[in-house]
Homo-oligomer: A and B are copies of this chain.
Amino acid sequence: MSSGFFQPISGMDLPRFAGVPSFMRLPVMDLDHARIKDVDVGLIGVPWDSGTTNRPGPRHGPRQLRDASTMIRAQNGATGVRPFDLINCADLGDVGPNPADIPDSMQRITAFFDDVLALGITPLTAGGDHLTSLPILRSLAKDNPVGMVHFDSHTDLYHSYFGGTMYTHGTPFRRAVEEGLLDPKRVVQIGIRGSTYDNEDTDFAKSVGIRVIRIEEFFKRGLEDVMGEAREIVGKEPTYVSYDIDFVDPTFAPGTGTPEVGGPNSFQALEVVRKLDGLNIIGADMVEVSPPFDSSGGTAFLGVSVMFELLCVMATHLTTR
């Protein structure tokens, strides 16, 4: 049961446009805060995009996601879950990146998440581009490889770019498999679509056992069926959830750097997360939200709505484990 200290401010008391915008109007806490050990789930921003090969912008994501998150209320209307009653949540601030140095930034991120995990906090991260997931997994999976449910329009399994560059937002999960952070047999990628360079990424997926579910299959079989398979693939073992906002159709989520047309709508964007209920989720991220391409703010609002669904399944899991 959450204490009052960790309750978000209600829009019935303070209008949603008022106040300094923290994630979901939760208290902002440094890692040396007196009550940090009471935190169950920490919402963390990782504002960088140095691994972006096309249109940058996700470095501005965490701030816009915080702003949009002031629209989130205490109860999940669809499932009835009240996460802030079940567990203690807090905004742990942003990891300070070095926008002009990728290795330095990756080390800063891993170090921050090492500290978070040492405090017993489950992280729910707002990126940042998709390279963000790699330094997080280096912390989360440093002892044992984890499974992953990966929502995206791209596999992010390429070997390298521009004649040999190994660390971009198109390569994190290739690296994560190579580094033994992901158990490829327990990885499922959902929503893949768009024109492609070639089959290098999907050939790699096949070779290591990653299951790739393209959008045509997703629409043909239906959401329930596909998510049922996804649950079986990751099973009851520790699982990471990585949610690239470009999984969703770019009309619903224009604020991203590498959109691919023909994706799921906003209702499906929420529903796929609800179907993760009961899984052993040890961390999750929402990445590639790019405010400069999100003039209406709708992408960020969808992003935090998905984050709230993630938080609800995480809270249920943490309460019932």
Stretch at the interface among A55-63, A142-150, A225-233: A55-63
Residue A156 CB within 8 A of the other chain: no
Q: Which residue of chain B is the closest to A46 with respect to CB atoms?
A: B18
A308 to B194, CA, bound (A): 11
A118 at interface, CB cutoff 8 A: no
Nearest to A192 among chain B residues (CB) is B77
Give complex CA distance A77, B21 in Å.
30
Selecting from A182-190, A203-211, A234-242, A249-257, the interface stretch reads A249-257
Q: Which B residues are CB-close (under 8 A) to A301?
A: 250, 259, 261
Let me know if A18 and B74 touch, CB within 8 A.
no
Q: Which residue of B lies closest to A254 (CB)?
A: B296
Give A101-113 as 1s and 0s: 1 = Cβ < 8 Å from B's Cβ atoms. 1101000000000
Least CB separation from A67: chain B residue: B63
Q: Roughly how many angstroms separate A197 CA and B71 CA in the complex, as a whole number? A: 11
Name A74's contact: one of B14, B60, B195 (CB within 8 Å): B195
Q: Is the pair A267, B259 in contact by a Cβ cutoff of 8 Å?
A: no
Copies in the complex: 6
- Interface pick from A33-41, A158-166, A172-180, A313-321: A158-166
Complex Cα distance A198/B82, Å? 9
Q: Does chain B have a CB within 8 A of A73?
A: yes
Task: Point out the residues of chain B lying under 8 angstroms from A10, CB to CB.
Answer: 197
User: A54's contact among B11, B45, B50, B93, by CB below 8 Å, is which?
Assistant: B11
Is A1 on the interface with B (CB-CB < 8 A)? no
CA distance A292 to B181 in the complex (A): 36
Is A22 an interface position by the 8 A CB rule?
Answer: yes
| Given A56-B59, A293-B292, A78:B214 Cβ within 8 A | yes
Find the B residue at minimum CB distance from A10: B197
A residues contacting B by CB (< 8 A) are: 10-22, 28, 45, 47, 49-57, 59-60, 62-63, 66-67, 71-78, 91, 93-94, 96-102, 104, 161-163, 165, 167-168, 192-199, 214-216, 219, 249-252, 254, 258-259, 261-263, 265-267, 269-270, 292-293, 295-296, 298, 301-302, 305, 308
Q: List 24 A-B contacts (CB under 8 A).
A: A13-B162, A15-B96, A18-B59, A18-B63, A20-B28, A20-B91, A56-B56, A56-B99, A57-B292, A72-B195, A74-B196, A75-B199, A77-B194, A78-B215, A104-B162, A195-B308, A250-B301, A251-B252, A259-B301, A261-B301, A262-B267, A262-B270, A262-B305, A295-B296
